[in-house]
Amino acid sequence: MRKMYLRFFVLACISSHSLLDVCAQGCFARCEWSEWESWTTCSQTCGSTEKKNTSRGLCCPSDLTDLESCVEYCNLDIADHYDEADCGRECYNDGTLSSAGCVCTNRFYGMCCDKRLDICEAIPTDVVFILDSSLSQTQTEFQKQLDFVGKFVDNVDVGPTAFVLSIITYSSTAVVEIEFDDSNSKQSIKEQLLGIQFRPGATYTNKGLELARSLLSVRMERRPGMYTKKIAFVLTDGVGPEVSHRELNAIASPADDYSLSYVYTVESFDALHTVLERLIDVSCEKCQPKSLTDIFLLVDDLPDSRMTVTEWQIAVNGLATIVDGLQAFNDENGQRVGIAQFPDTNDPIKQLSLSNTLRKDDILHFLQVMAHSEDTCRGTKDDCVLKSNITSIIQNVIDNQFTSSFGGRDDARKVLLVVSSGRFSNITEVAEQMRNIRLHTDVDIFDIGPGGDVDMRGLKSLVSEPSRVFVVKEDSDMASLDGLQAKFSYIACG
């Protein structure tokens, strides 16, 4: 039978002092470091500035009772006893690390930017509506503002991770009518809208703005790592001495690819729906900003609706303001502009066709030399036979000016901007003819009425809805064109 031998090994550290050393676990010789301890546990695996650490012992003589003395005896560096490392500094999908964790981009969110919103899922957005309840409003006009909020609610996703709303009214004082925490459902908001009262008083827009700032300043992120968008709508029919239009421009977001302006005035109140459309569309990544637009400016110089000299100058200045504000003018995929002045004929008296060779200066010069026509008929209206009317001219422009032979682009959005007093002698007939024209064209039609004596019925007869009518009462009132300028860049959804 084979014998079995058991061998026992005893490891000890022998000191020159003839004493047993105090040996750390895993240490086999004096002045040797032991094995590293396990790393401490991290509370987060990524997106954190937290540190984890580990340490190790040192084998030294038993009469040295502290690490510092032991390290000195062994002539070693005490820093080699300890190590630390980042717990989880990595943020995925191009996220960046901050003291609060990962800051995500491109619809990503989560502690590590590892989650992503669906293509048309709403980004968390805090919206404050600041409504004018001053004496400059009527009850009817105030109700229009509430209706606009209602339409907004109908068209967006409302909830803790989507859109939440707060509503402020202002006059002599500013009042929070709906708190953010009370607007987590559409039904709740619609019910609360019914209870908001018209509170007439002085127009202190600044008080509404200050209250909105305080509400938004304490709002926190609602999805980890994703910035919550903050938007304020200021609705007013006239800014008082405390706040000027220039100041509102300073408060509002700057112009960008989505809009040439984020400030709208009372003359273009209905054009606030432009912002609504953009806000809804741009929340979907299938939607992108576009500027590929062919814009034709039609100046109505017909005898029955001819502008006065004052109106003419306001019209010219308004068109110059629009052209000068086009940010993507003549870019490859930007805007092109054509212009024509039509007197009592279907043939323009002066014209610039759509072209990629035109400069802004060319159009601005054309506007300055475009002469106001004199009356061609010296008798009464009954004695004068009109050779054409506004609808035949509009049809002529639609049929010809947007074609490739006149510089139009097949893939461009087409916009016709009519400048007219609206003082047509046959408004009912014009309205009926325009309804038929709009049914058979893809050209978007807008109009501008210069001066305070325009006929709104006539201007509305040319377009599909009142929000497409813009009125400039005087040269100092060009701010009313903000909403119109914003329409010349648009959102396209695939």
Q: What CATH code is carried by the domain that includes residue 196?
A: 3.40.50.410
φ, ψ of residue 350 to 5 degrees: the values are: -140, 145
Over residues 43-68, mean pLDDT: 80
Do 449 and 334 lie in one domain? The reply is: yes
Residue 82 forms part of a structural domain: yes
Distance CA 70, CA 65 (A): 8
Assess contact for 481 and 278: CB atoms under 8 A: no
Residue 280's pLDDT band (cuts 50, 70, 90):
low
In a domain, 92, yes or no: no
* Token representation of residue 305: 């609706």
User: Residues 133, 59: one domain?
Assistant: no
Which residue's entry shows tokens 């030294």? 60
Type and span of the H or E element at 313: helix 309-324
User: To which residue do tokens 């827009």 refer?
Assistant: 205
Beta strands 287-290; 229-235: pairing state? unpaired
Half-sphere exposure of 289 (CA within 13 A, CB side): 17
Instruction: Output the pLDDT for position 455.
Output: 94
**pLDDT band (50, 70, 90) for residue 379:** very low
Q: Are residues 75 and 170 in the same domain?
A: no
The H or E element containing residue 372 is none
H or E element at residue 483: helix 482-486
DSSP 309: H
Confidence class of residue 227 from pLDDT cuts 50, 70 and 90?
confident
19 to 61, 176, 387: CA distances (angstroms): 8, 81, 124
Answer for the pair 420, 305: CB distance below 8 angstroms, yes or no.
yes
Residue 423 in domain: yes
pLDDT band (50, 70, 90) for residue 122: confident
Domain containing 34 equals 1-87
Q: In this structure, is residue 146 part of a structural domain? A: yes
Which of 11-15, 204-208, 419-423 is least confident?
11-15
Amino acid occupying residue 48: S
End residue of a domain, out of 65, 87, 109: 87
Q: Are 94 and 106 in contact (CB under 8 A)?
A: yes
**Mean pLDDT across the chain, nearest whole number?**
81
Chain mean position to CA 41 = 43
Which whole number is the average pLDDT over 45-66?
80
- Check whether residue 438 and residue 348 sit in a common domain: yes
CA distance 462 to 430: 7
- Looking at the fold, whether 63 and 166 belong to one and the same domain comes out as no
φ/ψ of 198, rounded to 5, equals -70, 120
Together in a domain, 137 and 20: no
Is residue 381 within 8 Å of residue 425, measured between CB atoms?
yes
Statement to judge: residues 83 and 167 lie in one domain: no
Residues 162 and 44 in one domain: no
Comparing 397 with 269, the larger pLDDT belongs to 397
Q: What is the pTM of this model?
A: 0.64
Last residue of a domain, one of 201, 227, 252: 252
- Contact between 169 and 177 under an 8 Å Cβ cutoff? The reply is yes
Provide the 8-state DSSP code for 135. T
Residue 284: inside a domain: no
User: CA 483, CA 321: separation in Å to the nearest integer?
Assistant: 13
Task: Grade residue 481 by pLDDT with cuts at 50, 70 and 90.
Answer: confident
| Residues 349, 297 within the same domain | yes
Choose one of 230, 252, 274: the last residue of a domain: 252
Residue in the structure block whose two tokens are 């984890």 = 52
Q: Please answer whether residues 189 and 151 qualify as being in contact, where contact means their C-beta atoms are separated by less than 8 angstroms.
A: no
Domain assignment present for 380: no
Predicted local confidence at residue 243, as pLDDT = 53
Co-location of 449 and 309 in the same domain: yes
CA distances, 226 to each of 88, 117, 154 (Å): 18, 10, 25
**Above 90 in pLDDT, residue 374?**
no
Query: How far apart, in whole angstroms, are the C-alpha atoms of residue 303 and residue 190?
Result: 49
Q: Which pLDDT value is given to residue 279?
A: 63
Task: Let me know if residue 481 belongs to a domain.
Answer: yes
One domain for residues 349 and 207? no
- Is residue 142 within 8 Å of 132, Cβ to Cβ? yes
Pick the range with the lowest mean pLDDT from 69-83, 316-330, 465-479: 465-479
Average pLDDT over residues 132-161: 87
Residue 49: is its pLDDT beyond 90?
no
CA neighbours closer than 13 Å in the CB half-sphere of residue 299:
30
3-state helix, strand, coil split of the chain in percent (to 5) is 30, 20, 45
In a domain, 75, yes or no: yes
Smallest Cα–Cα separation from 33: which of 79, 2, 1, 64? Answer: 79
Task: Count up the domains in the chain and report the number.
Answer: 3
Name which residue leads in pLDDT, 477 or 411: 411
Distance separating alpha carbons of residues 349 and 366, to the nearest angstrom: 12
CA gap 313, 304 in Å, rounded: 18
Together in a domain, 129 and 16: no
